[in-house]
Structure 1
């Protein structure tokens, strides 16, 4: 509910103002979108990094990116919309899987170049990642977070790194 009140009071301005503003101290919401590339190396629209966090338990679900239209849609609908660097378009989270993310709060960092969006999972499976728990089974649910592997290392003559499933 606090997030809804926050967003109702929020007057978004995506235009950079001509005068220099201390982004860390201003009360103006001035998200800083930066040049980026799509996964195939082509130029993407300017993007802002977004971290999605499960509101009830604080788990980080995944990191993604938004362009200006995705952020505007997210704030308007209170549903997460992201820029897909693979599809090169804005997508509503859960559009195909049915596992939507409802916005609870939107926080911005000191430089206004990264957003933390606290969300509540809504949907049939409670999934979040596009990958499945059992990839070989098409009926398998989607993973609850995109962070399901840990970087491990073997120290010997040459240190090696590998991924272990949690």
Structure 2
């Protein structure tokens, strides 16, 4: 039975991907949600650093290769039916994860209770960036 088994048997979706939830190993902050394919999952396990599959670029993406914000994996888990991965990481470099300069990719909250035709408002929970993405990536974010 998959739920009681002792072997990793990831259930990738029809595109060969599995979602990966990434949290900070010490604070528990939700940093990002990415995707892994079989190759990036194997490389992450092997090297102990987060390697994702970039859906937009259609290539492996080792987090931090350009920015220096490498994610060292402290713990990796899978859920009961093995169709999601959760990694707890320590972030190297300046400690930021988001490519637009924030600590977390989840730097905005949705204002609840605003139903209707207009889109709900977003509130910035992180009010200052950790770094300037133009300096790190040499382009506009």
TM interval, shorter chain, is 0.7 to 0.9
How many pairs were matched up? Answer: 124
Higher strand proportion: 1
Alignment of structure 1 residues 66-81 onto 2, 5 Å: 66-81=36-51
Alignment of structure 1 residues 108-119 onto 2, 5 Å: 108-119=78-89
Gaps of 5+ in 2: 126-141
Q: Specify the alignment match of 2:108 in structure 1.
A: 149
Deviations 1:12-65 (A, max 9, x none): xxxxxxxxxx211111110111123xxxxxxxxx00010001001111101110
Q: Relative contact order: is structure 1 or structure 2 higher (C-alpha 8 Å, sep ≥ 6)?
A: 2
Shift of 1:153: 3.9
RMSD: 1.5
Q: Specify the alignment match of 2:11 in structure 1.
A: 32
Q: 1:128 aligns with which of 88, 94, 97?
A: 97
Gaps of 5+ in 1: 1-21, 37-45, 132-141
State the structure with more CA Rg. Answer: 1
Q: 2:68 aligns with which of 98, 102, 109?
A: 98
Cα–Cα, structure 1 residues 63 and 155, in superposed 2: closer, same or farther, change >3 Å? Answer: closer
Secondary structure, aligned partner of 1:57: coil
